[in-house]
């Protein structure tokens, strides 16, 4: 049983294994992503119900452009389909959508869907659903440094500004521009892979990790809750002592 008084405030998920799920069924990879989208829908619902404040998912990395044209365009088409079918429901459930990453260069239709989701849910105060899209953490950190530099040169920051951890954090995608998303308490990765793959490198300094062999399309609310229970049994010390 999970302890409802200690639900992690911020959870991030690497939704891995869609391709393998499809392969096992002799289906095209995009069918795996479609099944992955359905799994994601259920996890958003569960996160919202149990009172998670931030759910951050890795939907498309800066490295994912290396995949075939068919797969890349398939993923963005799914995004449009997802927004078309789910935006009303998300809005009704008071979910706020945010994007981490440079979505200016994604296909037009997907970009429009994203902008519509951002605008529609801008005032919502429930679960914040953060989609990492064309996101890479090293690029994010480099961008933050360049933005600080620009703001110093442009006079928005004092010329002798000392760069601190707090300042750098505010210039990341998870910073001011997205309402300062708390660092993930828990990072989940499915499909048996145990690595971060350029996701939230800065933000994960003290995150707990939970891995499961389940492929993302098979990931259920029950498994999600089981991993939260695993998290609740961890002893977080943040470098200090009990």
Q: Which residues bind ligand FPP (CB under 6 A)?
A: 15-20, 33, 36-37, 40, 59, 64, 75, 78-79, 82, 131, 191
Q: In Å, how far from its chain's centre is CA 235?
A: 24
CB nearer ligand FPP, residue 68 or residue 149: 68
23 or 226: CB nearest ligand FPP: 23
CA 193 to CA 117: how far, in whole Å? 31
Write down the least CB distance from residue 51 to ligand FPP, Å.
Answer: 22
Instruction: Name the residue with the smallest CB distance to ligand FPP.
Output: 19
Catalytic residue check, 18: no
Q: How far is the CB of 125 from ligand FPP (least distance, A)?
A: 22
User: Per the structure block, which two tokens stand in for 231?
Assistant: 């998290």
For residues 187 and 110, give the distance between their C-alpha atoms in angstroms, rounded to a whole number.
26
Do the beta carbons of residue 57 and residue 101 sit within 8 Å?
no
Whether 16 sits among the annotated catalytic residues: the reply is yes
The CA distance from 102 to 106, in Å, is 8
CA atoms within a 13 Å half-sphere pointing along the CA-CB vector of 158: 5
Name the active-site residue from 64, 93, 124, 178.
Answer: 64
Residue closer to ligand FPP, measured from CB, 87 or 152: 87
Give me the least distance between CB of 68 and ligand FPP, in Å please.
11
* Inter-axis angle of helices 221-232 and 29-50, nearest 10: 60
Q: How far is Cα 51 from Cα 9, in angstroms, rounded to an integer?
A: 8
The distance of closest approach from Cβ of residue 93 to ligand FPP in the complex, given in angstroms and rounded to an integer, is: 17
Residue among 55 and 144 whose Cβ is closer to ligand FPP: 55
Identify which of residues 9 and 218 has a Cβ nearer to ligand FPP in the complex: 218
Nearest approach, Cβ of residue 71 and ligand FPP (Å)? 8
Nearer Cβ to ligand FPP (17/136):
17
Q: Which SS3 state, helix, strand or coil, does residue 237 take?
A: coil
**Residue 233 Cα distances to 84, 205, 222, 226, angstroms:** 39, 19, 17, 11
Spatial neighbors of 191 by CB under 8 A, at least 6 apart, are: 16, 17, 20, 213, 214, 215, 216
Report which secondary-structure segment, H or E, holds 17: none
From the CB of 135, what's the least distance to ligand FPP, in Å?
11
Choosing from 3, 5, 16, 149, which is the catalytic residue?
A: 16
Active-site residues: which are they? 16, 64
């Amino acid at each position: 049983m999970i302890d409802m008084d200690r639900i992690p405030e911020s959870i991030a998920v690497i939704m891995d294994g869609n391709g393998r799920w499809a392969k096992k069924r002799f289906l095209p990879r995009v069918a795996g992503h479609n099944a992955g989208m359905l799994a994601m829908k259920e996890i958003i619902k569960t996160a919202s119900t149990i009172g998670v404040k931030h759910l951050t998912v890795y939907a498309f990395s800066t490295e994912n452009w290396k995949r075939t044209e068919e797969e890349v365009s398939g993923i963005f088409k799914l995004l449009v389909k997802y927004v078309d079918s789910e935006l009303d429901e998300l809005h009704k459930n008071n979910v706020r959508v945010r994007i981490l990453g440079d979505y200016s260069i994604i296909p037009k239709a997907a970009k429009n869907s994203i902008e519509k989701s951002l605008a529609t849910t801008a005032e919502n105060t429930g679960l914040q659903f953060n989609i990492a899209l064309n996101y890479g953490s090293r690029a994010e950190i480099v961008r933050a440094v360049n933005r600080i530099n620009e703001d110093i040169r442009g006079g928005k920051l004092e010329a002798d500004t000392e760069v601190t951890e707090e300042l750098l954090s505010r210039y990341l995608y998870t910073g001011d521009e997205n309402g300062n998303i708390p660092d993930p308490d828990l990072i989940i990765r499915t499909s048996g892979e145990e690595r971060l793959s350029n996701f939230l490198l800065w933000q994960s300094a003290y995150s707990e990790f939970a891995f499961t062999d389940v492929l993302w399309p098979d990931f259920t609310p029950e498994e999600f809750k089981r991993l939260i229970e695993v998290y609740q049994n961890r002893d977080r010390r943040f470098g200090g002592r009990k």
